[in-house]
Structure 1
Amino acid sequence: MHSSASSTSQFYLFKDCLARRILQYQTAGDADDASDSALDDFATYLTTEAWPTLPSALKEATYEARGSLRQSIPDVESEDALSLDSTSAAFIESLVSYGIVSDDDEAFRFLRRALAEYVEQACAPPPVWSSTRSKECEICQQEVPLTYHHLIPKSVHAKVLKKGWHPESMLNSVAWLCRPCHSAVHQVARCEDLARNFYTVGLLLEREDIQRWQKYAAKQRYGVRRG
């Protein structure tokens, strides 16, 4: 595991993307049976297997390098970006044997989707709010650079007012979340569902999938190198 690449923040960002996707693919019963440490261990193992097989452009993805990345790999979810033959057999077999996916092709799609999320986050501009905020993330409670999450997503503001779900005064309410937790929130529910049913941090934390993510995320050390 402990190559120079494994000590980069990109390695751990990719690991978090895999962990969120594992939670998404698990059934409720599977999640109840799995311990929090088991998720961390499994995500670490999968990342260790997959990371060395990725193209260098993916492993070095950053906001500054986004242009060259998109030139060399325009669409990370395409089969041209990453071949099944070059992917770690242990990575594929582990996903299948643990029942996360049903076959090799689905495991490969699992990897490509996790990579698409990873690229989006790795190449995202740094939040301008990090210089003005010093409070902890409202989900994982870590003191790291924060983004603001519109609790009622802006894309559905017009519908919210038309349907009378919330008064106009609530539309700009935000939660301050680290980037991994912000991504987790948007992965568990669509914008309309967030606006209608999960418009406070308290309501988000009532979800079992967010509770499981919170336990995982609280153990990570975002914003620092880990190795």
Structure 2
Amino acid sequence: MAEPIRLPPQPEACELCTRATALTRHHLIPKALHDKPYVQKRYARSERITATLWVCRACHNQIHRLFGEKELALTYNSREALLGDERLRSFVAWLAAKPAGFMPRH
């Protein structure tokens, strides 16, 4: 029998801005694309399910504001790749200096 797929545990702080605040799970490979052949060819089922980041709502909103789902699945599918984008990196740096409960207005 196959081993059960285990999701990464929730950390104490956002994996992008490092603020200790309420967290949401960001799927690095968007769930809406898991059944697409181009996604299934690139990633094993366990990877599609477990490739997640724990991020605060502000960082999560910004990720989805900047990138489309296909872009996330094919290009921005790791913490390093996300932070490789100057727009997200500068947002995260700005947000990191704000208090835990701060939510930017957009």
Question: Do both share a fold (TM > 0.5)?
Answer: yes
**1:157 paired residue among 29, 34, 48:** 34
The one-letter code matched in structure 1 to 2:34 is H
| 2:88 paired residue number | 210
The Cα shift of 1:180 comes to 0.2
Distance 2:10 2:74 in 1: 28
| 1:223 paired residue number | 101
Percent identity over the alignment?
Answer: 31
Distance 2:101 2:31 in 1: 27
User: What are the ranges of 5 or more consecutive residues in structure 1 without an aligned counterpart?
Assistant: 1-131
Structure 2 matches for 1:89-168, cutoff 5 A? 133=10, 135-159=12-36, 160-161=39-40, 164-168=41-45
**Cα pair 1:150 1:174 within 8 Å, conserved:** yes
Structure 2 matches for 1:1-227, cutoff 5 A? 133=10, 135-159=12-36, 160-161=39-40, 164-172=41-49, 173-223=51-101
Distance 1:153 1:146 in 2: 17
**Cα pair 1:139 1:181 within 8 Å, conserved:** yes
Note closer, same or farther for the CA distance 1:217–1:170 as it changes in structure 2 (3 Å cut): same
Quick one: higher RCO (CA 8 Å, sep 6+), 1 or 2? Answer: 2
Task: Decide which structure has greater helix share.
Answer: 1
Q: Report Cα offsets for 1:47-78 as digits up to 9, x if no partner.
A: xxxxxxxxxxxxxxxxxxxxxxxxxxxxxxxx
Distance 2:77 2:11 in 1: 23
Task: Decide which structure has greater strand share.
Answer: 2
Distance 1:165 1:133 in 2: 26
RMSD of equivalent CA atoms: 1.6
SS of equivalent residue, structure 2 residue 87:
helix
Shift >6 Å, 4+ stretches: none
| 2:4 paired residue number | none
Larger of the two Rg values belongs to structure: 1
